[in-house]
Amino acid sequence: MKKIILILFLTIFSSSILNANDSIDDFDAEFDNRTKEVFDPLSGYNRLVTTFNDKVFVNVLIPVADGYAYAIPQTVRTGIENFFENIRFPIRFVNNLLQLKFENASEELGRFLINTLWGLGGFMDLATSELNMKAHKEDFGQTLGFYGVGEGFHIVLPFFGPSNLRDTIGLTTDGIISPVNSVGHNVFNYKAPNTIIETAGIKTFDVVNYTSFNPHQYETIKKDALDLYPFLRDIYTQARKKQIEE
């Protein structure tokens, strides 16, 4: 069980890094390399955990994702990714509503119905390919930021990766409404998963599949870092700021 929990933490860390990297092209144009004062009371701890996470990510997740990509055709992996995107609908829908983005929430509901009913349970993303209805990714950390809640101090979570006080609270809250989290099962009586072991297995599969599309993206980005911890911290901070402003 300890090994399964370890894998769960690892996969969430990779997800945090890779999701932040989705905004990297826009971030590059805005990133300011000038030295600036950052409130970082946990910097010593954060550096240690960043080094640990980096070793685990490079030596475990990336090789596994490489092997998975070699064995599983891209068409199948794309269908799996579509399925997981579809099943995460409640998080996006609720947070769009909380941010008063009613048009986006309506599109999310439409996407979910179309992809579930006519997209083979979500394995096909017909809403995007046929109707150009794209997902509006929002989470509770963004919702708190939308209402002016500050990020607080930076926190690097073991296996979870870069975060901050606000987003750590948001991560926990999103878990309550997530269909692929045992917390959601306990609160809303979802059918699955209902234990941390099931959550670990599902999340592991999800993130390995996601990482398989570009296993070496993280290594490509970090190669230019003179100091890995502040580099990843600033990428995360700027990416989250941009996501909240959108």
Q: Which of 8-17, 52-61, 103-112 has the lowest mean pLDDT?
A: 8-17
CA-CA-CA-CA torsion for 120, 90, 131, 246, nearest 10 degrees?
-150
Task: Name the helix (H) or strand (E) containing 202.
Answer: helix 196-211
Looking at residue 59, its pLDDT comes to 95
Q: Which pLDDT tens digit goes with each residue over 27-41?
A: 444 444 444 578 899
Q: Which of 59-63, 168-172, 183-187, 194-198 has the lowest mean pLDDT?
A: 183-187
- Averaged confidence pLDDT in the chain: 85
Structure tokens at 230: 């502040």
Cis bond before residue 193 (omega within 30° of 0) = yes
Read off the pTM.
Answer: 0.81
Q: Which residue has the higher pLDDT, 46 or 196?
A: 46
Looking at residue 19, its pLDDT comes to 54
Partner residues linked to 164 by β-bridges: 154
Looking at residue 10, its pLDDT comes to 44
Looking at residue 246, its pLDDT comes to 86
